[in-house]
């Protein structure tokens, strides 16, 4: 079967690497892809967020399945147009992708279905926001409603900070994402990412991970797309995972189907593990990046088979995906300046050496300048390794990191630290 993969980051490299292991794959196309993905796919110059261009390509090349990596094509309606035209696609329709695209939509769904989440208010102007704020304690969380590339969330410690955040969001700094604002109760606990795949009816767990969103060691400094991750996140125990499925994910899938917008694809639940159990922080309508990279390292099943079952609505016929017992850990090597203005064009070498001992280096933001591999984005490489424990996987990943020469880049040295601490003091 021919497959078209949309996207160009480390998540898509991991998906391409795993898809390429399927005996059913005859040809993989990637749009636009990157130099790492090019090892497994023919990269094509096609705008992945242009539904008509994607449909035309899929038809011309007789593509049997389109796999959508990032959120932009989902929100642009690529899934809808493909499905309407009988092309199998992994990824939800635009209306279903509102679970990621609109925080207000998701919060209202949680209220209707009694899904545990932070108390909240939706507001559309400054006066209403100020009035609503009086109902919340401190700290308080203020979010632009729409997609703001992870930057539309402020945790205000004081009333002045809360007011400043509100003024900021309504003054247009987030574009359309800031025309509505959600004010939320601040939740305390440890965060975990939980994944499930669903064909709109059947839904099965697809593993857990924990990522590090802050740029600095000890989880300090500005938010990023993620500086590293490991899987599984044992803090999400089997009991808590069962609760997350029963109390959060399953009611969501049922409610979406009942509302006439069945959700098909991967549902990524950002959870806060509070003293009262797991609560939903947010949904994403795609695999996490870099969480996908660690999940793919652990997946024992044929990825193409699984994604096809989802796309065909046959997930109920199969057994749940099997993930290896080993731990996978990935370290993001980023370009200096990230998450502000990353320095582009820095040379990278040493990847073959890094992979010599079983690590896998996924390309996230790379390009070729002649024969030289260079940085072309903020997050550049995802250096990924496995081990019997988080500590072992971490040692193997950093050994590989140290084999790479990327003078204009940096990485955190403490990925997985919470779990490494628990392992070393016997509380893991
Ligand atoms: P989001 O974009 O909704 O995932 O929020 C980004 C980050 O802000 C989350 O990963 C959390 O660390 C934090 N956050 C969001 N909402 C809350 C909340 N209600 N309570 C505490 N932290 C939150
Ligand atoms: N790593 C966080 C995300 O993919 O949203």
Tokens 């990278």 belong to which residue? 348
Ligand closest to CA 11: 2
CA-nearest residue, atom 5 of ligand 1: 153
For residue 104, give the H/E element and its range: helix 103-113
Measured CA to CA, the distance from residue 113 to residue 288 in angstroms comes to 25
* pTM score, whole prediction: 0.95
| Range list of H helices, 171-258 | 238-243, 250-258
In this structure, are residues 110 and 280 in contact, taking their beta carbons and an 8 Å threshold? yes
Tokens 């793919």 belong to which residue? 296
Task: Determine how β-strand 366-369 pairs with β-strand 347-348.
Answer: unpaired
Confidence band, pLDDT 50/70/90 cuts, at residue 427: confident
What is the b/e burial string over 29-48, where b = at least 16 CB atoms within 10 angstroms of the residue's CB?
bbbebbbbbeebbebeebbb
Regarding the beta carbon of 6 and ligand 1, being less than 6 Å apart is answered no
With both helix axes pointing from N to C terminus, report the angle between 291-298 and 10-19 in degrees, rounded to the nearest 10. 20
Task: Determine how β-strand 42-43 pairs with β-strand 27-32.
Answer: parallel
Residue 326 CB-density burial (10 A; 0-12 exposed, 13-18 middle, 19+ buried):
middle
- Segment 225-276, tens digit of pLDDT: 999 999 999 999 999 999 999 999 999 999 999 999 999 999 999 999 999 9
Confidence band, pLDDT 50/70/90 cuts, at residue 179: confident
Ligand closest to CA 154: 1
Ligand 2 atom closest to Cα of residue 150: 5
Share of the chain above pLDDT 70, in %: 97
Mutation pick for ligand 1 pocket among 105, 153, 269 (CB with most ligand atoms within 8 Å)? 153
Regarding the beta carbon of 323 and ligand 1, being less than 6 Å apart is answered no
- Segment 373-422, tens digit of pLDDT: 999 999 999 999 999 999 999 999 999 999 999 999 999 999 999 999 99
Size of the chain, expressed as the number of residues it contains: 428
For the segment 163-175, the average pLDDT, to the nearest whole number, is 82
- The predicted structure's pLDDT at residue 382: 98
Quickly count: other Cβ atoms within 10 Å of residue 258's Cβ: 10
């Amino acid at each position: 079967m021919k497959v078209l993969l949309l996207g160009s980051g480390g998540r898509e490299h991991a998906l391409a690497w795993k898809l390429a292991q399927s005996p059913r794959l005859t040809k993989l196309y990637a749009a636009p892809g990157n130099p790492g993905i090019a090892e497994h796919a023919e990269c094509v110059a096609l705008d992945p967020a242009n539904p008509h261009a994607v449909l035309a390509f899929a038809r011309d090349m007789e593509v049997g399945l389109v796999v959508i990596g990032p959120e932009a094509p989902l929100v642009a309606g690529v899934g809808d147009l493909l499905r309407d035209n009988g092309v199998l696609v992994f990824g939800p329709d635009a209306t279903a992708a509102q679970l990621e695209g609109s925080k207000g939509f998701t919060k209202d769904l949680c209220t209707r279905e009694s899904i545990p989440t932070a108390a909240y208010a939706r507001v559309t102007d400054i006066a209403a926001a100020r009035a609503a704020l009086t109902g919340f304690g401190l700290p308080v969380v203020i979010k632009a409603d729409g997609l703001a590339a992870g930057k539309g969330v402020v945790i205000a410690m004081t009333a002045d900070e809360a007011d400043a955040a509100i003024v900021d969001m309504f003054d247009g700094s987030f574009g359309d994402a800031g025309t509505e604002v959600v004010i939320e109760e601040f939740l305390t606990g440890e965060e975990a990412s939980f994944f499930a795949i669903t064909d709109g009816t059947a839904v099965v767990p697809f593993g857990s991970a924990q990522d590090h969103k802050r740029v600095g060691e000890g989880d300090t400094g500005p938010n990023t797309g993620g500086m590293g991750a490991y899987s599984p996140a044992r803090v999400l125990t089997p009991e808590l995972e069962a609760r997350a499925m029963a109390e959060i994910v399953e009611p969501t899938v049922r409610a979406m189907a009942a509302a006439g917008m069945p959700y098909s694809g991967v549902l990524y639940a950002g959870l806060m593990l509070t003293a009262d159990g797991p609560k939903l922080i947010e949904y994403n309508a795609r695999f996490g990046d870099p969480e996908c990279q660690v999940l793919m390292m652990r997946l024992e099943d044929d990825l193409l088979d699984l994604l096809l079952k989802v796309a065909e609505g046959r997930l109920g016929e199969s057994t749940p995906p099997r993930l290896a017992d080993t731990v996978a850990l990935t370290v993001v090597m980023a370009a200096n300046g990230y998450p502000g203005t990353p320095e582009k064009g820095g040379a990278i070498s040493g990847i073959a050496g890094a992979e010599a001992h079983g690590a896998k280096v996924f390309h996230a933001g790379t390009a070729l300048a002649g024969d030289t591999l260079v940085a072309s984005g903020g997050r550049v490489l995802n250096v990924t390794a496995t081990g019997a424990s988080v500590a072992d996987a971490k040692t193997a990943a950093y050994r590989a990191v140290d084999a790479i020469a990327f003078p204009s880049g940096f990485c955190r040295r403490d990925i997985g630290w919470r779990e490494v601490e628990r392992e070393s003091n016997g509380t893991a």
